[in-house]
Chains A and B, each alone.
Chain A
Amino acid sequence: MQYLSFKRILFGFAFSPNLEVNILETIRLAHFFKARLVLLHVGDKTESKQRKIEEILDRGEYSDVQVDIHWREGAPIPVITGACGELDIDLLILGALQHENLYQFYVGSIARKLTRKVNCSVMLLIKPTLERVPCQHVVVNGLDAPDTPLTIGTAFYAATVLGAKQLTIVEEIRQKDIHVTVEDDRSLKRANIVKERLKHREEYRVRNLLKELPANITSDIQVKNQSIFGRRGYSIGHYAEVVRADLLVMNAPDSTRLIDRVFTHDIEYILSDLPTDLLIVRNKA
C-alpha cells in the first residue's frame, strides 16, 4: 500500500457555535475524498437537535456525499474510539483549538486524547469555513522512519484530491546527528560540511521514496525538499506556519506515555500549538 485513500470518515460533533462550519467542512472533505461520512453525536437524541442537524445538512453544497448520523450515549472518548473500530473508520476528523494554554496542555482536551487513542488516521481542523478555501500548499514530514513512505504517499494523495499545487517534504535533522559542536571557526566549518552531507543523504533518501509513488498522485504537484536542522517535531510545525501551509501531514507517534508529555517531543509540540490543519497518518492494520 502506497497511500491511504480514506473511504469512511467519522466526525464527532457537538452542538457548539461552530457546528455548522465544522459539518460543512467535513462534508466538503468527504466529497473530495469520495468517502462516506459518519456523523456521530455523543449525547442524548432530541427532536430539536435532530432538526438542527438536518437543516445544516440540507444547506450542504455537495449532495453526492452519503451521510449517516449516529447518536450514542456515554463518555465521549471511549464511545468515539469504539465507533472508529466498529464502523471501520479510516479517518477521524476533529475540531481543535489552535493554541492550547498551560492547563489544556497538561490535562489534554478531548481532541488531543482521541488523537492518541484511536487506531485510524486523524485530521485536526483549526479553521473550518463556510465557503471553500482551496488548499494550496501541503507540508509533510520526511523523517527516516518506517511509516514515512505511507505518510508521504498519503500526503500526495490528499494534495491531489484537494487540488493543492505544491507539496514540501521537510526533513528534520537532529542537532545531535551532526556530532560536531560549534565552538570556533574550525568546528563551524566542520559542522557545515557535515550538515551538507546529511542534507544530501536525506534528500537522496526522499527522492528514492518519491520514485516509488504512482504518477497519478504526483504528476500535478510541485515538490520541494527542505532540510531543517532543529528540534524534531517542532521545526516542521514552525515551518508550516512560516510558509503558511494549509495542511500538515505527519507520521503517527509510536506511543505516547505521560513522560512524553512532560518532556515534550515530536508531535506534542505541534498538537500544543497547531499551525495549520493537521493530518496524522496511521495505518489501521
Chain B
Amino acid sequence: MKKKNKFIKGKAADLPKNLFSGFVVSLIALPLGLGLALASEAPPISGIIAAVVGGTLVALLGGSNVTITGPGNGLVIVLLSAITTLGKGDLYQGYLFTLAAIVISGIIMVIMGFAKMGRLADFFPASAIEGMLAAIGLGILSKQFHIMIGNMEAQGSIVSLLGDIPASFIQLFSEPSQGSIMAAAIGIISLLILFGYPKLRNPYFHLLPAPMWILILSIGISYTYDLLKIPYPLENGFLLSLPDDVMASLAFPDFGKVLQTDFILAVLAITLIASIESLLSIKAVDKLDPKNRRSNVNKDLKALGFATTVSGFLGGLNVVTVIARSSVNVNNGATDRSANLFHATFLLAFVLLFQEQLRKIPLAALAAILVYTGYKLATPNTFKKVARIGREQLLIFLATLLGTLFTNLITGITIGILTTFLIHVVVNRSLSLFLSHLIKPNILMFKESDGDNYYISVKYFCSFLNFYRLKNKLDAIPGKSDVVLDFSLCNFVDDTVMEGLESYRETFKKKGGSLELIGLDKHETDSAHPFALRKILPFGALKPIENYFTSRQRGLEATAGDYHWIYNPAKQTDASFMSGFIFFRTREIRYFYNRIAEPGQQMSVFDLEFTEGAFIAREVIKTTAMHIELDHKIPVFTLDKEGLLQMLYGMAGFKDIDIDHHPDFNKRFYLSGEDDTQIRSMFTDPLVLFLESNPYYHVESNGHSLLIMKKERLLGVQEIKQMIYFGQQLRNLLQQAD
C-alpha cells in the first residue's frame, strides 16, 4: 500500500511536466491531424478523432511510456488509395468503406498483439524500409505541392502528380485568380517558415512550434482582412471545412464491401503499414526515453488496435505511434503516458472551442506543412545516407522506392525484400547458405562461468531473415550486463543486423552494460560505413585489413589513444618475439594483427591467429594475447587455473610447484616450471595475493618476457582494458620484487 502511495506521488510530481509537454504536442498534432486527413482525402476532422481517441485509449491501456499516438504519415498513401479505389470516384462513400477497413485492421492488430507479433517489424530489411518511407514522403509531397500553390484540381498517380508540378506553376501565372494567388502566397510563405524555423535562433519565436505559427499567422491574416473590412480573397474552397457540429455529425463505417478483394487488400495494406510504422516508432522512442524503459510492444499493439477500431467506428483514421510528435514530447519533458492523454485532451478542447477559427485555416497552409513532412521523409540526405552504407543498399532502396511509386506499398515492400535477398545471394555466390540454414537455430548464448559476461556466438549467416533470433537472445539479457557477440563462425552479416546491433549497443551503454562485437575483423566489405554488410573472406590473408575498421577496431584505436599507445591494425607475420613460450611450441603462429603497444614496444596487446594440430585435425584459432618484455631475467614458468584452458603441458622436467603457506593459491592455480627454488622465491606474498584477488589469466614466462592470455577467443575492448591493467600491475610487482 505504501509503495503504491509513493508511486502515485511520483506520478503526481511529474504531472505538470507531462501537462506541459502534452500541450506542446497538441499544438503540432492539431495542424498535422487536419493535414494528414486532408492528404488522405478524408474529412479533416477524422485525423483529429484518431488523435483524440488514440491519445486517450493508448495512454490508458498501452505498454509504452513516452510515445504519442494519432494519425500517421505512413498511412496517408494507403488510406488515399483505399478511399479512391473503394469509393470508385465518390470520395465520401470511399471514406465510409475505408472506415470499415480501419475497424477491421484494428481488430487484426489486437489479435497480433495477443499473438505476440511485436516482432513483425524485424523482418524488413533496413534499406527497404527507408525506400518505403521515401516513397510515402514523395506520395504526400506530390499531391500537396499542388494544393500549396493554389491548384486544387490536380489528380492522378504519384508519378504523374510529381511531373505536373511545373504545369501547376505555369497555370498559377498564366491564368491567375485572386484566390489561387493568395493561396500560393500563404503556402509558399508557410513553407519558408518551416524551412527557416530550425535556423532561426530566436527564443520567443521558438515558444510555439512552426506548424502552430503557420496556423496562427494564416488565421490572423483572415481576421486582419475582416478588421479592415476588405473581402477575404480565399473562398470556402480554399479553406478548411469542418462540420457545423463536430460532436453530432460523426461518420459511421459502411461494411458493405467486406468480402470484396479490393477491400481485403486495403485492410491488409492498412494493417501492415500501421503496425510497421507503430513498431518502428516505439523502438525509436524507447531510445529517447530519459528513464531508459523498455516498452511492451505487444501490449502497445493491442492498445493501438483497440484504439483504431474505436476511432474507425467514430469516423476517425488509424491510430499509430508517431515518431516526430513523440520526440517533441520527450524534448518537452514528458515522463509517462499521461502526456499522451493530455495531448488528446487539449486537442479535443481546441476543436470544440475554436471551431470558428479553424474554419479560417487556408488549405494551402496545411499543404505546406505536409509538403515539408513529405520532404523530410525523402530528403536527398536519405539517398546519400543509404548510398554510403553500400552501393547495393542504394539498389535495394531505389527498387523499393520505384516499386512503391509505380505500383503500391505492398508490392513495393515485397520488391524490396526480394531484391535484398537476391543481392545477399549474389554477394555470397551461394543460395544454399541461406536455404539450408534458414530454419535452423543459429545462435548460442550462455553466461560465462567466470564472471558475469554473456557470450553469444552466431553461426552460418545473420541477416534480416533471421535477425529476430539474435534479437530474442539480446532482449533476454539485462541491460546492465556485458555482452560479447562473436561472429567468427558466421559467414555473412547484413546491414540490417549491423544497424540493429548499433542500436542495441547504445541501449546497453545507456543502461550501464556493454555490447561488443568480435570476430568481424576478417569479414570483407565494400564500403567503410559501419553498417556495411560483411561476408567472410575466402582468401582473407591477401587483403589489407586496415581499410575498413570494425567498431571493435575503432575501440582499440581509442584505447590506444587513452594510454598514449600506438595502434597498428595491419597483419604482421614476424612473431619471433613470441618464440620460447611453451604454449607456442606445439602451435604455429600464422600472424598477429590489431596490435596496440607502448611507445617503447615493451608492453603490447594483439590479436593472434595460430594453428593447432596438423593436417586434417588442424584448427585455426584466434585469440587476444598480451606480451610484456621485462627488464631483467626471471625463471621460466607457466601459471594456470586448473582445467580452464587446455594449456597444461606434460613437458619433460616440468613439475607442479606448490608455494609454501598459500594452500588456497596452490589449490586454485597450477604453477609449473623447471627451476622450483627460483620460482618459489619469485612468487612472493604480494604477488600471490595479487594473483588470487584478480580475475584469472593464463600467465607464462620464457625467461625474459611474459605472455598473458585470457580466453581462446578474441577479447572485447573492455576485456582488453582489464587485461592491460592486470599486465601493468603484474609488471610493477615483478619489478618491485627485483
A interface with B by C-beta (< 8 Å) = 21, 101-102, 105, 127-131, 133, 136-137, 165-166, 181-185, 187-189, 191-192, 222, 224-231, 234-235, 238-239, 241-244, 264, 269, 272-273
Contacts and interface: CB of A to CB of B under 8 A. Distances in A.
Interface stretch (B9-17, B210-218, B436-444): B436-444
Interface string B622-649: 0000000000000000000011101010
B432 A222 contact: no
Contact of B298 (A131, A183, A238, A239): A183
Interface in B271-314: 293-299
A182 B476 contact: yes
Contacts, number: 103
Contact of A183 (B296, B616, B644, B712): B296
A178 to B, nearest CB: 9
A184 B63 contact: yes
Q: Which of A184, A185, A234, A273 has the most chain B CB atoms closer than 10 A to its own CB?
A: A184
B614 A184 contact: no
A273 B455 CA distance: 21
Contacts of B447: 227
Contacts of A183: 63, 116, 118, 296-299
A102 B444 contact: no
Q: What 7 pairs between A and B have smallest CB-CB spacing?
A: A222-B643, A238-B444, A184-B296, A136-B646, A231-B441, A183-B296, A234-B441
A165 B649 CA distance: 11
B613 A224 contact: no
Contact of A181 (B116, B295, B617): B116
6 contacts: A165-B643, A184-B299, A228-B446, A230-B444, A242-B486, A273-B440
Interface in B98-128: 116, 118
Nearest to B431: A102
Contacts of A129: 613, 615-617
Given A166-B643, A188-B478, A244-B619, A229 B441 contact: no
A242 B489 contact: yes
Given A102-B436, A242-B489, A235 B444 contact: yes
Contact of A229 (B299, B476, B615): B476
A241 B486 CA distance: 13
Interface of B: 63, 116, 118, 293-299, 432, 435-436, 439-441, 443-447, 449, 455, 457, 459, 473, 475-476, 478, 486, 489, 613-617, 619, 621, 642-644, 646, 648, 712-713
A187 B293 CA distance: 12
Given A105-B436, A127-B616, A184-B296, A224 B643 contact: yes
Given A137-B646, A230-B443, A238-B457, A185 B621 contact: no
A230 B457 contact: no
A127 B444 contact: no
Contacts of A228: 444-446
A264 B617 CA distance: 29
Q: Which of B295, B439, B446, B648 has the most chain A CB atoms closer than 10 A to its own CB?
A: B446
B79 to A, nearest CB: 30
A13 to B, nearest CB: 17
A201 to B, nearest CB: 16
A210 to B, nearest CB: 15
Contacts of A235: 441, 444, 446
Given A183-B297, A191-B476, A244 B712 contact: yes
B454 to A, nearest CB: 11
Contacts of B613: 129, 133
Contacts of B298: 183
Given A133-B617, A241-B489, A192 B432 contact: no
B643 A185 contact: no
A101 B436 contact: yes
A242 B444 CA distance: 9
A184 B294 contact: yes
B483 to A, nearest CB: 14
B621 A244 contact: yes
Contact of B435 (A102, A127, A189): A102
Given A165-B646, A192-B476, A235-B441, 18 more contacts: A129-B616, A136-B646, A182-B475, A184-B293, A184-B295, A188-B294, A188-B478, A192-B478, A227-B447, A238-B444, A238-B459, A239-B444, A241-B459, A242-B455, A242-B457, A244-B712, A264-B439, A264-B440
Q: Which of A21, A185, A234 has the most chain B CB atoms closer than 10 A to its own CB?
A: A185
B163 to A, nearest CB: 47
A226 B455 CA distance: 12
Contacts of A136: 646
A172 B716 CA distance: 26
Q: Which of B489, B614, B619, B643 has the most chain A CB atoms closer than 10 A to its own CB?
A: B643
A265 B447 CA distance: 23
Nearest to A180: B476
A165 B293 CA distance: 46
Contacts of A264: 439-440
A183 B457 CA distance: 23
Contact of A21 (B295, B478, B489, B616): B616
Q: Which of A183, A222, A225, A239 has the most chain B CB atoms closer than 10 A to its own CB?
A: A183
A229 B240 CA distance: 59
A129 to B, nearest CB: 5
B243 to A, nearest CB: 40
A227 B441 contact: no
Contacts of B436: 101-102, 105
Contacts of B617: 127, 129, 133
Contacts of A230: 441, 443-445, 473
Contacts of B486: 242
Contacts of A131: 614
B192 to A, nearest CB: 44
Nearest to B621: A244
Contacts of B457: 238, 242
A241 B295 CA distance: 36
B475 A229 contact: no
